[in-house]
């Protein structure tokens, strides 16, 4: 792997140059406590020290609402609405979110590829950024706190800039023409990275790994946690809509007024909504708030064979952005019998 170094000042220059290569999105402060990936106009507004964005990065490749087809109802013809040629550049993606995207890839590209997602994703550029955990983070026990795939470049914090790992050919192509602002790394930088990672590892609120959690979830299906916690739940779906790996969608046809044409749109759905498990009849496979609540705990802790991790990457969004203060990590620790780090 190739490693280079860039100063903080030059990083702004680099971001400026990236804007010429596509549409650049980066973490932006949107309110007192919240951040979101937003299109970068002023590179000085890019946040290098943020915990998590309110909307997950998947939305750039899998929009919350998109027209899949337009159609002609009389000829019964569907016209695929292929996404425009556009390079989406995401800067400042944490390791949890990078794995999150790979999990969406595993479902939307690796098997029965979804043409819309695939096209956007394959022309996208992902630039990672190191981070320090807060009390909501548990990517370490999900084994995704350090990534070795899924990024073109990865920026690791140094005292005066970043050590950059180059992950792909696209990454090399971003570095090579810009060697006026990148430089070679030193032994000191490597030592800093080691110390940074060590400090970071100790900061997580829980240690170890949760590989056995899915078995405990199955063995303790009747745990009182579900009734107790789902009682607090508002059923608003924020946990799923902010999740970097949730993928559920609903599809609807919208005809034109004359009924001759129309569009088939897909919109993000949530398993926390009543209609998610509803079929004609009507019969609901997840009729209660508790059954919908439990559904998410099962789904997020299932095993993804492509990333060899759980579907949950431990980013903490579902807890941080839960209006009802339901703590996913602590509830799972109760099921798994894990203890907080001292």
Partner 1 sequence: MVDTGKSVYDTHKCRLLRKYDLTDMETLFLFRFEDPVVAQDWRFKPGQFVEVSLLGLGEVPISICSSARRMGFFELCIRNAGRVTSAIHKLTPGSLVGVRGPYGNGFPMDQFHGRDLLCVAAGLGMAPLRSVFLYAIDNRWQFGNITIINTAKYGPELLFEKELEAMKDIATAENIAIVQSVTRDPDYPGLHGRATEHMEKANVDPDNCAVAMCGPPAMYRGMFDYLVEKGYDPRYIFVTLERRMKCGVGKCGHCNIGTATSWKYVCKDGPVFDYYAITSIPGLI
Partner 2 sequence: MAIIEECGDICRPKIGVYALTSCYGCQLKLATVQKIMEIVQAVEIESFYMISSASRMGSDVDVAFVEGSVSTEKDLEELKEIREHSRILVALGACAVNGGVQSWAEGDKDYKKLYAEVYGEGKITMQGRQATPVSDHVKVDYFLPGCPPEEDELMYFISAFLFGTFPEPKDYPVCAECRLAGNSCILIEKGEPCLGPVTTAGCKARCLSHNVPCIGCRGPVPHGTAWFDSLAKLFKEKGFDRDYIRDRMKIFGAHDENLEPMLDKIFGGSK
**Which x/- pattern over 225-254 shows residues binding partner 1 (rule: CB under 8 A)?**
---------------------xxxxxxxx-
Taking 3-state DSSP, the helix, strand and coil percentages for the chain, each rounded to the nearest 5, stand at 35, 25, 45
Q: In this structure, what DSSP letter does residue 160 have?
A: T
| Residue 259 contacts partner 1 per CB under 8 A | yes
User: In the beta sheet, which residues pair with residue 70?
Assistant: 79, 263
76 binds, among partner 1, partner 2, none (CB under 5 to 8 A by kind): partner 1
Please state the closest distance from residue 114 (CB atom) to partner 1, in A: 6
Do residues 204 and 341 lie in contact, with contact meaning Cβ atoms separated by under 8 Å? yes
Q: Angle of helix 115-122 relative to helix 95-108, nearest 10 degrees?
A: 140
Please state the closest distance from residue 28 (CB atom) to partner 2, in A: 10
44 vs 75 by CB, closer to partner 1:
75
Which one of the spans 15-23, 143-151, 179-187, 293-301 is the region binding partner 1 (CB under 8 A)?
293-301
Structure tokens, 158:
């140094």
Positions in the binding site for partner 2 (CB under 8 A): 30-34, 36, 38, 54-55, 64-65, 73, 231-238, 241-242, 252, 254-259, 262, 268, 270, 273-275, 289, 321, 323-325
| Residue 79 contacts partner 1 per CB under 8 A | no
| Residue 337 contacts partner 1 per CB under 8 A | no
78 binds, among partner 2, partner 1, none (CB under 5 to 8 A by kind): partner 1
Structure tokens, 149:
């795939």
| Residue 72 contacts partner 1 per CB under 8 A | yes
∠ CA 239-240-243, nearest 5°, is 85
Do residues 134 and 51 lie in contact, with contact meaning Cβ atoms separated by under 8 Å? yes
Positions in 199-228 near partner 1 (CB under 8 A): 213-215, 217-218, 221
| Residue 114 contacts partner 1 per CB under 8 A | yes
147 binds, among partner 2, partner 1, none (CB under 5 to 8 A by kind): none
Q: In this structure, what DSSP letter does residue 83 have?
A: P
Positions in 18-47 near partner 1 (CB under 8 A): none
Structure tokens, 30:
């949107």
Which one of the spans 68-76, 127-135, 200-208, 227-235 is the region binding partner 1 (CB under 8 A)?
68-76
| Residue 163 contacts partner 1 per CB under 8 A | no
Provide φ and ψ at 68, rounded to 5°: -80, -45
Beta strands in 225-287 (DSSP E): 249-255, 261-268, 278-279, 283-284
**Diameter over CA atoms, the chain:** 70
């Amino acid at each position: 792997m190739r490693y280079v170094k860039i100063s903080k000042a030059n990083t702004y220059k680099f971001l400026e140059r990236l804007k010429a290569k596509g549409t650049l999105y980066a973490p932006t402060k949107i309110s007192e406590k919240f951040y979101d990936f937003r299109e970068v106009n002023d590179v000085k507004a890019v946040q290098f020290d943020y915990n998590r964005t309110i909307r997950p990065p998947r939305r750039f490749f899998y929009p919350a609402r998109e027209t899949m087809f337009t159609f002609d109802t009389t000829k019964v013809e569907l016209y695929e609405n292929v996404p425009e040629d556009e390079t989406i550049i995401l800067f400042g993606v944490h390791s949890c979110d990078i794995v999150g995207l790979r999990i969406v890839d595993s479902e939307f590209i690796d098997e029965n590829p979804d043409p819309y997602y695939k096209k956007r994703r394959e022309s996208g550029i992902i630039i990672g950024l190191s981070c320090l955990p807060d009390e909501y983070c548990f990517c370490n026990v999900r084994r995704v706190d350090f990534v070795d795939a899924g990024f073109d470049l990865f920026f690791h914090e140094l005292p005066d800039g970043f050590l950059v790992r180059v992950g792909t050919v696209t990454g090399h192509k971003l570095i090579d023409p810009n060697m006026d602002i990148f430089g070679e790394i030193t032994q000191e930088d490597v030592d800093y990275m080691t110390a940074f990672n060590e400090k970071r590892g100790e900061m997580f609120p829980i240690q170890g790994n949760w590989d056995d959690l899915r078995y405990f979830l199955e063995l303790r299906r009747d745990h009182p946690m579900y009734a107790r916690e789902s009682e607090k739940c508002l059923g608003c779906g924020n946990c799923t809509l902010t999740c970097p790996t949730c993928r559920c969608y609903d599809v609807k046809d919208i005809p034109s007024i004359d009924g001759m044409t129309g569009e088939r749109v897909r919109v993000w759905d949530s398993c926390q909504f009543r209609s998610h498990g509803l079929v004609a009849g009507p019969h609901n496979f997840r009729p209660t708030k508790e059954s919908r609540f439990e559904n998410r705990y099962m789904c997020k802790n299932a095993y993804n064979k492509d990333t060899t991790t759980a579907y949950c990457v431990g980013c903490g969004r579902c807890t941080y952005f839960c209006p009802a203060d339901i703590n996913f990590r602590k509830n799972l620790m109760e099921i798994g019998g894990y203890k907080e780090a001292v």
